[in-house]
């Protein structure tokens, strides 16, 4: 798994090139965008929706269900993401989108989704196969980025991505060293991840990587929302919890005192509190930096716990049980 994470920068470059060269979108008549996918196949859409929120002229909705939103129609650009191409929830959703005359694009390594796109003359991008879906994030996310880069008003994502890849290559040794130190703090605790709401997709990615790679429970929450509920839960001392703050230096000024107060509160009840600060000159660079760093953290946690970061038998057993029904 370490080698797969080390390849993340090159995967980003390859994925964007694939999307940019294969998928040309006709945006005439498009009024909204839905990105449908789950788990390692779906997290790219979650992060992308955060990234484009401030400038995309289309509302972007994330779908992680068998069903699709009621507004889906012929004006919907429906992007279906399934690494295997056989995710039953995603295939259910994309078939419903087809029935609603949505404009479909597939992001997959093959399977039913590729066959569906080919039989209906829908464009699709191919993600290289043979990887755990979460390890293909670099390919899938950059292909999504290549698609939305065609939207009117989008920043020059190609140049930003080149900058991010350069940064990650330059910083990889430092990133790995920091990840080892962070993993040592989080080991044998239940990590809690806090960040600004704009960064929630990155926090979810970190949580999912801890779940799957390190085989640990973990949760996350965002500011300012957690100031209205979860903060009240910090009333008892706990050495079983650790807290990680993800920060980018782009946080809203109005949220800064909120972060200060939350840090003050949690430091009363646990000694395992740390902040991970992003590096980079724009949100894309910073977010990919945090993802690369926290991916390493999750694998180093698996090493400390002596578990296999690749094995996900409980998920595979569920799929087998569902097929047998």
Selecting among 55, 57, 181, 319, the annotated active-site residue is: 319
What pLDDT is attached to residue 64? 96
Do residue 139 and residue 182 come from a single domain? no
Contacts of 18 (CB under 8 A, 6+ apart): 125, 126, 139, 143, 146
Selecting among 212, 220, 285, 292, the annotated active-site residue is: 212
Average pLDDT for 52-67: 92
End residue of a domain, out of 154, 173, 189 = 154
Q: How many structural domains comprise the chain?
A: 2
End residue of a domain, out of 126, 154, 182 = 154
pLDDT exceeds cutoff 70 at 23: no
pLDDT exceeds cutoff 70 at 13: yes
Do residue 292 and residue 277 come from a single domain? yes
Do residue 22 and residue 112 come from a single domain? yes
Do residue 149 and residue 163 come from a single domain? no
What pLDDT is attached to residue 297? 97
pLDDT exceeds cutoff 80 at 75: yes
What does the alpha-carbon distance between residue 325 and residue 320 come to, in Å, rounded to a whole number?
9
pLDDT exceeds cutoff 90 at 237: no
User: Does 316 fall in a domain?
Assistant: no
User: What integer best gives the mean pLDDT of the chain?
Assistant: 92
pLDDT exceeds cutoff 80 at 239: no
Range of the domain at 280: 159-305
* 212 in active site: yes
Do residue 86 and residue 164 come from a single domain? no
CATH of the domain at 218: 3.40.50.10490
Residue range 249-292, pLDDT digits in tens: 999 999 999 999 999 999 999 989 999 999 999 999 999 999 99
Average pLDDT for 89-115: 96
Do residue 139 and residue 206 come from a single domain? no
Average pLDDT for 187-202: 97
User: Does 104 fall in a domain?
Assistant: yes
What pLDDT is attached to residue 234? 93
Do residue 178 and residue 253 come from a single domain? yes
Residue range 298-323, pLDDT digits in tens: 999 999 999 988 877 788 888 788 87
Do residue 63 and residue 135 come from a single domain? yes
User: Does 315 fall in a domain?
Assistant: no
What pLDDT is attached to residue 317? 82
What pLDDT is attached to residue 236? 81
Model pTM? 0.94
Do residue 121 and residue 196 come from a single domain? no
Do residue 62 and residue 150 come from a single domain? yes
Selecting among 228, 253, 268, 323, the annotated active-site residue is: 228
Q: Which residue has the higher pLDDT, 153 or 95?
A: 95
Average pLDDT for 181-190: 96
pLDDT exceeds cutoff 80 at 248: yes
User: Does 312 fall in a domain?
Assistant: no
pLDDT exceeds cutoff 80 at 22: no
Average pLDDT for 178-203: 97
Position 150 confidence tier, pLDDT thresholds 50, 70, 90: confident
pLDDT above 70 coverage of the chain, percent:
99
User: Does 178 fall in a domain?
Assistant: yes
What does the alpha-carbon distance between residue 204 and residue 219 come to, in Å, rounded to a whole number?
8
């Amino acid at each position: 798994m370490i080698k797969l994470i080390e390849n993340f920068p090159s995967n980003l470059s390859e994925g964007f090139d694939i999307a940019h060269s294969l998928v040309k979108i006709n945006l005439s008549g498009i009024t909204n965008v839905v990105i449908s996918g789950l788990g390692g196949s779906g997290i790219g859409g979650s992060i992308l929706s955060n990234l484009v929120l401030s400038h995309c002229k289309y509302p972007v909705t994330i779908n992680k269900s068998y069903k699709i939103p009621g507004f889906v129609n012929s004006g919907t650009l429906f992007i279906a993401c399934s690494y295997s191409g056989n995710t039953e929830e995603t295939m259910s959703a994309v078939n419903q989108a087809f029935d609603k005359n949505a404009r479909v694009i597939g992001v997959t390594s093959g399977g039913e989704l590729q066959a569906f796109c080919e039989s209906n003359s829908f464009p699709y991008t191919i993600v290289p196969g043979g990887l755990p879906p979460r390890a293909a994030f670099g390919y899938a996310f950059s292909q999504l980025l290549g698609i939305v880069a065609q939207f009117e008003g989008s920043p020059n994502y190609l140049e930003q991505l080149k900058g991010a890849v350069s940064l990650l290559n330059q910083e990889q040794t430092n990133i790995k060293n920091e990840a080892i130190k962070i993993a040592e703090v989080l080991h044998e605790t239940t990590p809690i991840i806090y960040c600004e709401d704009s960064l929630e997709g990155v926090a979810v990615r970190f949580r999912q990587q801890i779940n799957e790679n390190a085989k640990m429970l973990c949760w996350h929450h965002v500011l300012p929302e957690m100031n209205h509920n979860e903060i009240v839960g910090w009333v008892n001392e706990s050495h079983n919890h650790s807290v990680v703050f993800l920060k980018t230096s782009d946080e809203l000024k109005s949220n800064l005192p909120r972060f200060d107060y939350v840090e003050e509160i949690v430091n009363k009840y646990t000694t395992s509190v740390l902040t991970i600060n992003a590096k980079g000159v724009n949100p894309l660079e910073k977010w990919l930096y945090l993802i690369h760093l926290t991916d390493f953290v999750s694998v180093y946690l698996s090493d400390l716990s002596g578990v296999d970061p690749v094995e996900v038998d409980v998920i595979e057993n569920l799929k087998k049980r569902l097929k047998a029904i």
